[in-house]
Amino acid sequence: MLDKTYSPQSVEARISERWDQSGAFEAEASDNKAPFAVMMPPPNVTGSLHMGHALNMTLQDVLTRYRRMSGRNALWQPGTDHAGIATQMVVERQLREEGTDRASLGREKFVDRVWQWKAESGGTIVKQLQRLGASPDWRRERFTLDEGLSEAVRTVFVRLYHEGLIYRDKRLVNWDCQLLTAISDLEVDQRETKGHLWHFKYPLEGAEEGAPNSFITVATTRPETMLGDTAVAVHPDDERYAHLIGRHVLLPLVGRRIPIVGDTYSDPEKGSGAVKITPAHDFNDFEVGRRHGLEAINILDKHGQLNDAVPEPYRGLDRFEARKRVVVDLEALGLLEKIEDQVHAVPYGDRSNTVIEPWLTDQWYVDAAVLAKPAIEAVEEGRIRFVPKNWENTYFEWMRNIQPWCISRQLWWGHQIPAWYGPDGHIFVAMDEAEAVKLAEDHYGEPTKITRDPDVLDTWFSSGLWPFSTLGWPEQTPELKTFYPGDVLITGFDIIFFWVARMIMMGLHFMDDVPFRDVYIHALVRDEKGQKMSKSKGNVIDPLELMDAYGTDALRFTLVAMAAQGRDIKLSEQRVAGYRNFVTKLWNAARFCQMNECAYAAGFDPAGCAMTANRWIISACAEAVRDAGQALDAYRFNEAANTLYSFVWHTFCDWYLEIAKPALYGDDGADKTETRSAAAWILERTLEALHPLMPFVTEELHESLAKHEHDMLVTTEWPAFDKGLIDTSAKQEMDWIVRLIGEVRSVRSEMNVPPGATVPLQLADANERLCAWFGTHKTTIETLARVDASISAQPSQDADRGDSIQIVLDNATLLLKIADFIDIAEERARLERELSKINGEIAKIDKKLSNPKFLERAPEDVVEEQRERRADADLSRQKLDQAVARLNAL
RNA sequence: GGGCGCGUAGCUCAGCGGGAGAGCACCACGUUGACAUCGUGGGGGUCGCUGGUUCAAUCCCAGCCGCGCCCACCA
């Protein structure tokens, strides 16, 4: 016998173990079932499970389990990402605590150390995913830095290089002065910051000192960069300054003679209308510099301190220190015109949280614009579909304006770039050192020493290959053939650019096909106040804690039920508790079935039930499962969850099991046998349908039930019904019974009839069909409404004496004999209320039906529906009129 | 500056052209042989505002108000 409540803690680990041993998650390329492939977004090895993972992984697991049960050869490809910067930071922090650093360790030892860290701590996230019930093929787990994937990375790099799509260039990059590496545009966070706009006067060459027009004023938010100025730009059409174009200013503090150039970049509306140009430290200025052949003077070293290119007093100063000094010194010279407050965007590194510097260095770039073209077309042509569709706009917007992608990073942890340099700087790109050496020998005509580029690749470069590198590419493996392209990618919108776009570009380029058909973009999980969860805010809800407290299934179900398309999820613990209750409800329904020997019966034919109630519940189950399946097909996760929730709790537990009780408690016989089988059948289908959403409790129940068809739920078929099980007449009949009971209960409650009291109920003045229904379900009505039921052809004398409440249900009247509780005046008021309600409805319908335009233009079935409603309402009104008349006759 | 999204019951949210819904919270009653992590009944909403399209608008369109997010090189 099942316990009274479900204890997830003791069950989940055991069930996990069984799944694992059964090999249920394993997918084979040789399998001839239709493949279904999902690529897991690889979490960082440094990661531990947060709510975003929990949602992302749960949705993937739901789909994978659903498709697997639906007969697909389902591969969910797992793995982790080496996360260059994040991981290197973690290990460097450890080293600091040990009083050392990576420089003193040296590259090789440092990298060894990171691998060691990965071996010890890198598996955390994987274990946590198992706790969540994730069902990927763990045998196939990959790591972006493992042997095979590294080969894929080198292959891609070499090929793109030879195609001219990867190149080396000296230009401005976003430089992180703390991590000492370049980062991509996407890793820069523009933050609105309160700062100042300083207006400086630059003396014009050849102007008379002190004369009114002896200066040109420039404005800047970054005074220290003036030390690297090589021009002042004005708009060619700006009358105030046009005459100055071609003249020079003498750069204060430095003494450099720099030109005044005309460039449309200068905006007469902004600042003073003249803008200082620092090509080496500003992206716009860099372009201006290129147009005018200006020198780019780099004034910063890699730490963000001023270098030898500036006058002696400023050398070695930190950039922020230099800013103050420059202002002070210019003021002393009388060249500070004014200071304004200004809110402006300051670039921060998303990892280091420090101010990013545009810095002039040699880096490797991918010509993203070329790769983007087919990637844009794939989405335009619908070969890839975003769900919800609006994300396509975001994708297009970014892809159509894509910039060269800086892929080199000055880190040690990652894929070292397969490029070597000869003594003269000649570049040799090759799969390995031996090949590079040979290339060099061919090039120079003799063995020549070459050195490898020390940089590593952006982590996203390797994750961009994930959909095919994990399947064995560049080898042409059976896996690749079977599982590429994948079916759906499930991820958050925050990595559409970082990852999704890159996978599409790389997949199309190297596999000549899209990496996946659908991209389902889910929402962000926020706290219950709608704030983004973050460690610094301290509002992080830990999924593991919720799993401990409420069970994994409750958490999963919550996330699925709240995953409506296009809206963020505000998670509250209360909600999880609510779904824990649902798990308990399901558990107890199963327990009830077990107690009453509702067990799988070999010959049971769900289409052949004699009892209406059984036909009805089977029909309702078929509808619910069909709807849930359709919802999952359309990625409407919340709908699937709600449909099943409502069916299990309200239809099955609240109504069916209560209706079934008399038969189950009664004497042996056909009714009891059939009801037992039907209940068991429904329970099994319910467990199957819920399994993708709540794998643990359903598997546990499946195992605990006395007899069943299949060994494990995980490999059972998702219930697929044919239309034959949907029985509209049973539905009509039971709906009426349900409403009847509801009406009686409502009246009893309103009239304060003691819940325990059994009172007479008479169906009066009803047609044959209703009388037949009433008769068939007499026991159900009596049990659930606590009445003694009978049928009378005429309204009874009880009503005429005022001993009964009259309940109008469609075109029948129910008489509830509760004389002791009736207050005639109140009863009259109640009936009048009913009457006015129905009259209101009739008036509304009449308004429509009397509108000739409605009759003329509304579709036929809508008009017909209104007519039927009108007729039904009219019947009810007649009955109510009669009831009132009888009361008035007293 | 551009783009996206959201304003529906006290709270969190579904629905989205033809009869306003769920969960939680709230109120009343209930120890009926699965479940008090429960059952039964109940109260509560001019579906942000203003126009327009339509026979019909919470739903479509426009504008406005409020809120959030993303992108953008502006001194």
pLDDT number for residue A887: 86
In this structure, the strands spanning A142-143 and A79-80 are: parallel
Q: Which residue is nearest to nucleotide B39 (CA to C1')?
A: A654
Task: State whether the beta carbon of A463 lies below 7 angstroms from any atom of strand B.
Answer: no
pLDDT number for residue A619: 95
Quick check: A806 and A744 in contact, CB under 8 A?
no
Task: State whether the beta carbon of A588 lies below 7 angstroms from any atom of strand B.
Answer: yes
Instruction: Give residue numbers, 211 to 270 of A, with CB < 7 Å from strand B.
Output: 218-222, 233, 265-270
pLDDT number for residue A709: 61
Q: Which residues pair with A4 in a beta bridge?
A: none
pLDDT number for residue A707: 63
Judged by DSSP in three states, A18 sits in helix
pLDDT number for residue A600: 85
Per-residue pLDDT tens digits for A571-610: 888 889 999 999 999 999 999 999 999 988 888 999 999 9
Tokens (6 digits) for A445: 């005509």
pLDDT number for residue A395: 92
Whole-number distance in Å between A392 CA and B6 C1': 19
Only one residue has tokens 């902004």, namely: A270
Number of C-beta neighbours around residue A859 at 10 A:
8
| Interatomic CA distance for residues A854 and A848, integer angstroms | 6
| Interatomic CA distance for residues A339 and A759, integer angstroms | 88
Per-residue pLDDT tens digits for A142-163: 999 999 999 999 999 999 999 9
The terminus-to-terminus CA distance of chain A in angstroms comes to 58
Task: State whether the beta carbon of A549 lies below 7 angstroms from any atom of strand B.
Answer: no
Nearest 5°: the CA angle A578, A579, A585 is 100
Number of C-beta neighbours around residue A534 at 10 A:
10
Q: Which residues pair with A419 in a beta bridge?
A: A429
Nearest 5°: the CA angle A63, A69, A75 is 60
- The b/e string for A262-277 (b: 16+ C-beta within 10 A; e otherwise) is bbeebeeeebbbbbbb
Instruction: Give residue numbers, 399 to 438 of A, with CB < 7 Å from strand B.
Output: 401
Only one residue has tokens 């099991």, namely: A657
Measuring CA to CA, how many Å separate A832 from each of A341, A498, A838? 71, 66, 10
Per-residue pLDDT tens digits for A515-554: 999 999 998 887 666 667 766 667 778 899 999 999 999 9
Instruction: Give residue numbers, 834 to 853 of A, with CB < 7 Å from strand B.
Output: 841, 848, 851, 853
Per-residue pLDDT tens digits for A840-880: 888 889 988 999 999 999 999 999 999 998 998 999 999 99
pLDDT number for residue A710: 67
Tokens (6 digits) for A813: 């009247």
Judged by DSSP in three states, A385 sits in strand
Task: State whether the beta carbon of A320 lies below 7 angstroms from any atom of strand B.
Answer: no
pLDDT number for residue A351: 86
Amino acid identity for residue A562 in this structure:
M
Task: State whether the beta carbon of A276 lies below 7 angstroms from any atom of strand B.
Answer: yes
pLDDT number for residue A540: 77
Whole-number distance in Å between A553 CA and B7 C1': 32
Quick check: A67 and A42 in contact, CB under 8 A?
no
pLDDT band at residue A446 under the 50/70/90 scheme: very high
Task: State whether the beta carbon of A821 lies below 7 angstroms from any atom of strand B.
Answer: no
Whole-number distance in Å between A193 CA and B52 C1': 43
Task: State whether the beta carbon of A398 lies below 7 angstroms from any atom of strand B.
Answer: yes
Which is higher by pLDDT, A143 or A244?
Answer: A143
Contacts of residue A61, defined as CB under 8 A and 6 or more positions apart, other chains included, come to A76, A132, A133, A134, A135, A556, A692, A695
Tokens (6 digits) for A293: 């052949």
- What backbone torsions phi and psi does residue A224 show, to the nearest 5 degrees? -60, -25
Tokens (6 digits) for A772: 């037949």
Give yes or no for residue A661 having a pLDDT over 70.
Answer: yes
Per-residue pLDDT tens digits for A700-744: 999 988 665 668 999 999 998 777 899 999 999 999 999 999 999
| Interatomic CA distance for residues A37 and A137, integer angstroms | 11
Query: Which DSSP string do the residues of A297-349 spell out, in sequence order?
Result: ---B-TTSBB-TTS-GGGTT-BHHHHHHHHHHHHHHTT-EEEEEEEEEEEEEE
Give yes or no for residue A798 having a pLDDT over 80.
Answer: no
Give yes or no for residue A793 having a pLDDT over 80.
Answer: no
Q: Which helix (H) or strand (E) holds A386?
A: strand A385-387
Task: State whether the beta carbon of A336 lies below 7 angstroms from any atom of strand B.
Answer: no
| Interatomic CA distance for residues A408 and A610, integer angstroms | 73
pLDDT band at residue A323 under the 50/70/90 scheme: very high
- What backbone torsions phi and psi does residue A152 show, to the nearest 5 degrees? -60, -40
Whole-number distance in Å between A139 CA and B54 C1': 59
- Strand B bases contacted by the protein (CB, 7 Å): 2-6, 12-15, 18-19, 22-24, 28-30, 32-42, 54-56, 69-75
In this prediction, what percent of chain A has a pLDDT beyond 70? Answer: 98
Contacts of residue A806, defined as CB under 8 A and 6 or more positions apart, other chains included, come to A799, A813, A814, A815, A831, A883, A886, A887
**Across chain A, what does the average pLDDT equal?**
91
Give yes or no for residue A797 having a pLDDT over 70.
Answer: yes
The stretch A678-707 carries a mean pLDDT of: 92
Tokens (6 digits) for A698: 């359903």
pLDDT number for residue A530: 66
Task: State whether the beta carbon of A568 lies below 7 angstroms from any atom of strand B.
Answer: yes
| Interatomic CA distance for residues A75 and A139, integer angstroms | 11
Per-residue pLDDT tens digits for A171-192: 999 999 999 999 999 999 888 8
Closest nucleotide to A233, Cα to C1'? B75
pLDDT number for residue A342: 84
Task: State whether the beta carbon of A135 lies below 7 angstroms from any atom of strand B.
Answer: no
Query: Which DSSP string do the residues of A849-869 spell out, in sequence order?
Result: HT-HHHHHHS-HHHHHHHHHH
Task: State whether the beta carbon of A785 lies below 7 angstroms from any atom of strand B.
Answer: no
Whole-number distance in Å between A533 CA and B5 C1': 19
The stretch A790-804 carries a mean pLDDT of: 79
Residue in A578, A860, A598 with CA at minimum distance from that of residue A708 = A598
Residue in A811, A733, A797 with CA at minimum distance from that of residue A765 = A811
Instruction: Give residue numbers, 671 to 730 of A, with CB < 7 Å from strand B.
Output: none
- The DSSP code for A409 is E
Number of C-beta neighbours around residue A588 at 10 A:
16
Measuring CA to CA, how many Å separate A295 from each of A221, A751, A865? 22, 93, 80
Outline where DSSP puts E strands in A146-251.
166-176, 181-183, 188-203, 215-220, 231-234, 248-250
On the CB side of A257, CA atoms within 13 Å amount to 5
Tokens (6 digits) for A583: 């798990």
Helices (H), A336-388: 368-380
Tokens (6 digits) for A106: 């040296």
Amino acid identity for residue A85 in this structure:
I
Of A73-87, A370-384, A490-504, A822-836, the least confident = A822-836
The stretch A454-461 carries a mean pLDDT of: 95
pLDDT band at residue A129 under the 50/70/90 scheme: very high
Residue in A326, A167, A318, A199 with CA at minimum distance from that of residue A254 = A326
- What backbone torsions phi and psi does residue A276 show, to the nearest 5 degrees? -75, 145
Number of C-beta neighbours around residue A776 at 10 A:
15
Number of C-beta neighbours around residue A257 at 10 A:
10
pLDDT number for residue A515: 97
| Interatomic CA distance for residues A139 and A20, integer angstroms | 10
Of A422-426, A606-610, A797-801, the least confident = A797-801
| Interatomic CA distance for residues A52 and A352, integer angstroms | 22
Instruction: Say whether the ipTM exceeds 0.85.
Output: yes
Quick check: A72 and A35 in contact, CB under 8 A?
yes
Whole-number distance in Å between A67 CA and B13 C1': 28
Quick check: A235 and A274 in contact, CB under 8 A?
no
Q: Which residues pair with A788 in a beta bridge?
A: A760
Which region, left, alpha or beta, applies to residue A330 given φ > 0 means left and ψ of -120 to 50 means alpha? alpha
Taking CB atoms within 8 Å and a gap of at least 24, the contacts of A622-626 are A622/A721, A622/A725, A622/A726, A623/A726, A624/A651, A624/A689, A625/A685, A625/A689, A625/A719, A625/A721, A626/A721
Q: Which residues pair with A387 in a beta bridge?
A: A520
Q: Which residues pair with A183 in a beta bridge?
A: A174
Instruction: Give residue numbers, 748 to 777 of A, with CB < 7 Å from strand B.
Output: 749-750, 755-756
Q: Which residues pair with A521 in a beta bridge?
A: A491
| Interatomic CA distance for residues A117 and A375, integer angstroms | 37
Closest nucleotide to A591, Cα to C1'? B34
- What backbone torsions phi and psi does residue A160 show, to the nearest 5 degrees? -65, -35
Instruction: Specify which of A46-60, A238-252, A338-352, A428-442 reaches the highest per-range mean pLDDT.
Output: A428-442
Task: State whether the beta carbon of A735 lies below 7 angstroms from any atom of strand B.
Answer: no
